[in-house]
Amino acid sequence: MAAVGNDSPGGSDVRSNLQSNPITIDPSHELYLYPSDNPSNMLVSNLLDGHNYGHWRKTVEIALIAKTR
């Protein structure tokens, strides 16, 4: 029976490459997701309807600016 990970060509090479080249996490990268980034987080409490667009837009802008700090 073959060992797990050694049945594919270069299986042990992948493990040694990961050990010699550790993964670095760069929070300044544009695609980095912060722990607080969650699609279910509510940015604003008031829902958008046809009549409150101006107020809703401003609160969303403020929330997004605050989130990028």
- Structural domain of 49: 11-67
State the DSSP H helix or E strand holding residue 20, giving kind and residue range, or none if neither.
Answer: helix 11-20
State the DSSP H helix or E strand holding residue 16, giving kind and residue range, or none if neither.
Answer: helix 11-20
Please give the model's pTM, rounded to 2 decimal places: 0.45
Number of domains in the chain: 1
Structure tokens at 60: 């969303």
Hunting for tokens 């401003």 — which residue is that? 58
pLDDT tens readout for residues 1-57:
555 555 555 556 666 665 676 788 888 888 887 777 777 778 788 888 889 999 999
Residue 6 lies in a domain: no
Structure tokens at 65: 């600016």
* Side chain identity at residue 19, one-letter code: Q
Residue 2 lies in a domain: no
Nearest CA to 17 out of 3, 5, 28, 4 is that of 5
